[in-house]
Structures are given as C-alpha cells and as structure tokens.
C-alpha cells in the first residue's frame, strides 16, 4: 500500500489527484492538502472581473467531491518539508497546519510515500510597494475573490463614465519580473468591449503597461505564427488589435510603486516615470512560498529542495541567453535529491526565463518571467501521476512519461470580449512552448503549422466551451478522463 500526498488543489494538484485516484486501487491512499476549500477554474476569472460571470460559476467545493471519490482531503497549508522524517518519525512527512474547522491552528505530520508539490505560485504583491488588491484603485484577477473586487471597482468607473466624466484605465503587469501577461491581455480586451457595450468607450483612455520588450511577448519571447495564410509576428498581431481598439501601450516598464491612482515605473532607458489612472488591474510578481526543508537531524536542507520554487530535473547551471536550450527544461519534474518528490505545474523552479532577459540602465531586471499556467500545468501533473502509478504497480522507479515544455504544444484561447453574438477571442496555439531554435531555426524556434493565431467570435465560443468542459472534468463526472488536459 502506498500513500501519495498532493499539496495544492489547483489545476495541477487536482489533475494529479484525480488521475491517481482513478488508476490506483483503493488500497492506496491519495491525500490532498490545500488551504483553499474550493476548486477554481482560473481562466474564467477574467469574466468575473467584468461582471459577466459570478464567482460561483467558476468554482465548486472540493470536500464533497473528494469524499465521494475516496480522496482524503485536509484543509491545511504546508509549512515545512521533512523528506527524511525526523528523530521520532521514520517516514518522510510534510508538517502542515489546518486552516479551518475544529483542528484550525493545529499542526500534523502528514507522512507520504510519494509527494506531489503542486502549490503553484505565491502571488507576491509585496514585491511592489502599494500593490494591494482592492486598495489604491488597483485590482487583480488572479483569484475569484480578487476578480469580484475588480468588477466592483470597474463598475464604479463605468457609472462615473456614464455621468459624462472621463477616466483612465491601466492594465498590465505590476512588477518588472511579472509573468502571466496573457491574463492581463484578456482582461484589457474584455474591459474595452464592456465599455463599448455600456456606450462609454469614448470617455475612457485605456493603456497597456507591461514589462515586455515587444507587444505579444507573453513571457515566451513572442512567436512567429500562421495567420490567414501569412506568417506574422505575435507583436504585429497584438499591435493590430490594440490599434484597432484604441488601446495605448507602455512597454519595458517595471512598475515599482503604486500610490492612490498613480503607478510609478522604471523603463529600460533607466527613466523613472509615472502613469495616473482611475482603475488599474496589474498582475503581481510570482514567487515560491518560502518553504523550509529539514533532514532527519533537523538540519536545514532547503537548498536541496528549493530554489525559490522546487528544484526538479532541470539544468540550473548559469549560462547566457545565447546558450539556453530546450534541453535545460525538466522532463519528469522529479526532485534530483529525493526521488519520491515531484513538482508539476507552476511549483517547479524553471531553469531560466523564456523571454530574453533585459535590464534597465540602472541594472533593474525588466523582462517577463516564464509562464507555466493552464494547460502545461495539467499535462505535467498527469505525467507525474502516471509515473507514480507505474512505479507503484511495477514496484520500481518508472519515469517513462515525459513532458518537457520544449516538446509540448499549448493553446491560449484569449477572450477578447464576452457575448454569444458580440464576443470575440484570440486563439493562439504554440508548439513548442519553449522555442527550440536548433530544430526550427528559421521560424524563431516554433513549428509554423502548429503555431497559429485566429481572431473572432469562434474564439469566444471556444473559451466558453472549454470553461464548461474543464469544470465538468474537474468535477470528475462520467468519462471525465476522456477530456485531454
């Protein structure tokens, strides 16, 4: 009998737990440890943030589902890792603290045979002074709670615009090393469409602010894509969309301080500037959770497990941008020091960025961190689960399932406006996620046939269809496993 502990119940953790439970017999225990009692389909938070969906449409409680499926659920947060156990506990364990119910505040040593760290990122708002969701007129859509607040703020601005006042809206990244530009891109297009729907677009000035060097970088170094029979750069496509919708942009901006209605930033020329706004949505930097790890003698071994995020089978040696290769990226998400620990999704430490790193003239790093959200999170979680299942069934370590971001495609269905007849979406697929400049030297590291873009109503339908399909899948309804990650 094996016990598999999954930390986190986001896209990655939930996918891993679901597959483990489906494929392993009941003699094996699957335990999910997560402080959040709800599963949330994060991609739809965009629509919560414009008031077109309620948060209850993007979430459901985990406890009843896990009880029904035979998954043990502990509403607790991980505190410290003990991969060798300690003087009293011979098995490896994670010290966790309950955050709800009768056990709230108490700790438990949760032992495991296999550990999947799917804790995702910490939303590091503290890295930018004054960037606090719901304060200083700045908001976030990173969680459904944040998105609800964002809608309240946006709605107040819409009412102001309706009374004939002018307003400035600022959307983008809130830190020089932020990632997830795609979410901000979706949100700015949705806000723009909502303002048109409310007939107040002419009263609003909308500005995109980002740490990207080019538009359409998305933390992936941009891409060359097929578009209507042409080969187009993602920067050209995003520029076309922004110009068509009257959206201004500020690039190479590392936002470093927020005051009430003022975003301060440094640009790549080393100039310190600011931008005023009446409503802002800025994506924070992501960071690891700051977990500590100890060996059986209680010595600090954090550096064996963490490098900000969790260390996995990547090449972390320091080398210049020109020498980066897809082979640097992990394939199995297994910790090299403790072979029974894995970190899929956003929880693993990337070997380096994907976009070319840049610094301002003052030495401030201003370039996107690598995105690892959504689909890759699900795929990497499933392959980790499959390797653990194979290892348990064969009785020896099995790592046959591999999935490097350098050999994996991704689909980004970016909503560009909500509505069954008036909605729009920008559908982009990329293969591979991490550009392979040796394999595809003439097309900026990507395979053109599998890297394409489309704009139109079908994109909105597609994103809406994915919303319902993935919530169906997450609820583990009949034949849920037939829906790919």
Partner 1 sequence: MTQRISKYQRFKMMNPILQFFKFIYLSIKIMIVVAGGHGGTRKVD
Point out which residues bind partner 1 (CB under 8 A).
Answer: 240-241, 243-246, 326-327, 329, 331, 375, 379, 383, 402-404, 406-411, 413, 421-422, 424, 427, 429, 431, 436, 450, 452, 454-459, 461-462, 465, 484-485
What whole-number distance in Å separates Cα of residue 83 and Cα of residue 113? 10
Q: Which of 342, 483, 370 is nearest to 432 (CA)?
A: 370
Shortest Å, Cβ 241 to partner 1 = 8
Shortest Å, Cβ 216 to partner 1 = 14
Burial environment of residue 108 by CB neighbours within 10 A (0 to 12, 13 to 18, 19 or more): middle
Shortest Å, Cβ 180 to partner 1 = 20
Shortest Å, Cβ 307 to partner 1 = 20
For partner 1, the closer CB: 226 or 356: 226
For partner 1, the closer CB: 35 or 374: 374
C-alpha distances out from residue 438 to 194, 320, 331, 350, 447, Å: 43, 16, 18, 20, 12
For partner 1, the closer CB: 289 or 463: 463
CA atoms within 13 A on the CB side of 182: 28
Q: Which of 25, 28, 5, 3 is nearest to 17 (CA)?
A: 5
For partner 1, the closer CB: 12 or 173: 12
Contact yes or no for 15/382 (Cβ under 8 A): yes
Shortest Å, Cβ 143 to partner 1 = 25
For partner 1, the closer CB: 1 or 411: 411
C-alpha distances out from residue 293 to 186, 264, 356, Å: 38, 37, 32
For partner 1, the closer CB: 365 or 458: 458
Q: Which of 277, 263, 253, 281 is nearest to 138 (CA)?
A: 281
Beta strands in 20-130 (DSSP E): 29-33, 38-40, 59-61, 72-74, 76-82, 93-98, 107-111, 114-117, 122-124
Shortest Å, Cβ 228 to partner 1 = 9
For partner 1, the closer CB: 349 or 448: 448
Shortest Å, Cβ 240 to partner 1 = 5
């Amino acid at each position: 009998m094996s016990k598999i502990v999954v930390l986190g119940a986001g896209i990655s953790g939930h996918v891993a737990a679901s597959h483990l439970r489906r494929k392993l017999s009941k003699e094996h225990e699957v335990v999910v440890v997560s402080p959040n009692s709800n599963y949330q389909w994060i991609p739809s938070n965009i629509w919560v943030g414009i008031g077109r969906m309620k948060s209850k449409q993007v979430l459901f409680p985990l406890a009843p589902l896990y009880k029904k499926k035979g998954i043990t659920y502990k509403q607790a947060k991980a505190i410290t890792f003990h991969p060798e156990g300690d003087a009293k506990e011979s098995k490896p364990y994670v010290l966790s603290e309950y955050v709800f119910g009768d056990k709230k505040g108490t700790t438990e040593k949760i032992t495991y045979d296999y550990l999947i760290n799917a804790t995702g990122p910490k939303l590091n708002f503290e890295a930018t002074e004054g960037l606090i969701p719901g304060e200083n007129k700045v908001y976030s859509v990173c969680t459904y709670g944040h998105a609800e607040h964002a809608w309240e703020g946006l709605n107040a601005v819409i009412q102001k615009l309706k009374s004939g006042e002018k307003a400035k809206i600022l959307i983008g990244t809130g830190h020089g090393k932020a990632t997830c530009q795609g979410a901000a891109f979706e949100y700015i297009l949705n806000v723009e469409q909502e303002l048109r729907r409310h007939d107040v677009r002419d009263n609003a000035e909308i500005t995109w602010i980002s740490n990207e060097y080019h538009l359409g970088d998305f933390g992936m170094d941009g891409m060359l894509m097929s578009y209507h029979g042409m080969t187009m750069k993602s920067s050209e496509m995003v520029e076309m969309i922004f110009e068509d919708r009257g959206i201004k942009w500020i690039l190479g901006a590392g936002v470093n301080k927020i005051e009430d209605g003022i975003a301060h930033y440094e640009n790549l020329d080393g100039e310190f500037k600011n931008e005023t706004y009446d409503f802002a949505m800025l994506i924070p930097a992501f960071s690891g959770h700051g977990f500590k790890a100890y060996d059986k003698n209680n010595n600090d071994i954090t550096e064996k497990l963490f490098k900000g995020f969790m260390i996995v089978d990547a090449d972390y040696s320091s080398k210049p941008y020109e020498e980066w290769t897809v082979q640097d990226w992990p394939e199995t998400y297994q910790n090299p020091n403790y072979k029974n620990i894995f970190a899929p999704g956003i929880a693993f430490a990337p070997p380096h960025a994907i976009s070319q790193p840049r610094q301002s003239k003052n030495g401030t790093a201003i370039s996107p961190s690598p995105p690892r959200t959504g689909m890759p999170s699900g795929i990497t979680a499933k392959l980790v689960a499959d390797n653990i299942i194979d290892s348990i069934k064969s009785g020896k370590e099995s790592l046959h399932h591999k999935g490097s971001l350098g050999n994996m495609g991704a689909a980004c269905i970016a909503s560009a406006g909500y509505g069954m007849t008036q909605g729009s979406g920008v559908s982009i697929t990329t293969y591979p996620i991490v550009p392979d400049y040796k394999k595809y030297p003439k097309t900026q590291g990507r395979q053109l046939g599998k890297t394409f873009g489309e704009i139109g109503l079908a994109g909105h339908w597609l994103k809406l269809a994915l919303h319902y399909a993935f919530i169906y899948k997450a609820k583990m309804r009949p034949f849920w496993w037939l829906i790919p990650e």
